[in-house]
């Protein structure tokens, strides 16, 4: 099995760095203060506020760890507007047998959002499109069978 590269855009990297700064600074301090307060309430074994704050602390540290891992392992996508589909490309496609055209943007898995037309390079559709060019046809498996699309334009 080939390793698929993790990509993020420059904008996503900046957003993750900003979130990380907030989580490691003000948010971490806020949770530590809440933890100190909850401890001051006494008996920790039956202190719901303490247990909730510890759970929140665990979620915070997990998110910090995940962001650091994403930043460490991801490659910054630098779309150059070429003819070949890559991360950052806008791809105009048409389903074979249909007339409706749709635009999708190929993004890394962290940024995928179908409502915004952003599909992951790791998704079956993203993998089918990756490396193709205008005029190519692509096929990929879906739960309802195989879907076939024609690439109308790449930008």
Give 53-105 pLDDT, tens digit per residue.
Answer: 999 999 999 999 999 999 998 888 876 667 889 888 899 999 988 889 999 99
Class of domain 79-154: alpha beta
Tell me how far apart the alpha carbons of residues 131 and 94 are, in angstroms, rounded to a whole number. 17
Residue 106 β-bridge partners = 119
d(CA 78, CA 10): 8
Please check whether residue 139 is in contact with residue 146, taking contact to mean a CB–CB distance below 8 angstroms.
yes
Does the fold of domain 79-154 match that of domain 7-76? no
Q: List pLDDT tens digits, range 99-124.
A: 899 999 998 888 899 899 999 988 99
Residue 24 has phi, psi (to 5 degrees) of -75, -20
**What residue segments make up the domains of the chain, in order of their start?**
7-76, 79-154
The CATH code of domain 7-76 reads 1.10.287.180
pLDDT over 90, % of the chain: 56
Q: Residue 119's closest CA among 133, 107, 132?
A: 107
Instruction: Give the three-state DSSP class for 62.
Output: helix
Single out the residue of 4, 5, 132, 155 nearest to residue 80, CA to CA: 155
């Amino acid at each position: 099995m080939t390793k698929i590269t993790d990509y993020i855009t420059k904008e996503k990297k900046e957003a993750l760095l900003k979130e990380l700064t907030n989580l490691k600074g003000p948010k971490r301090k806020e949770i530590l203060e809440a933890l100190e307060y909850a401890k001051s309430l006494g008996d920790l074994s039956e202190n719901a506020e303490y247990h909730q704050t510890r759970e929140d602390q665990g979620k915070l540290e997990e998110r910090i760890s995940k962001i650091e891992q994403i930043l460490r392992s991801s490659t910054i996508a630098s779309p150059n507007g070429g003819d070949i589909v890559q991360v950052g490309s806008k791809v105009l496609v048409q389903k074979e047998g249909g007339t409706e055209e749709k635009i999708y943007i190929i993004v890394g898995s962290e940024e995928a959002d179908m409502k915004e037309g952003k599909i992951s390079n790791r998704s079956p559709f993203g993998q089918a499109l990756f490396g193709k060019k205008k005029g190519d046809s692509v096929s990929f498996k879906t739960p309802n069978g195989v879907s076939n699309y024609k690439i109308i334009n790449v930008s």
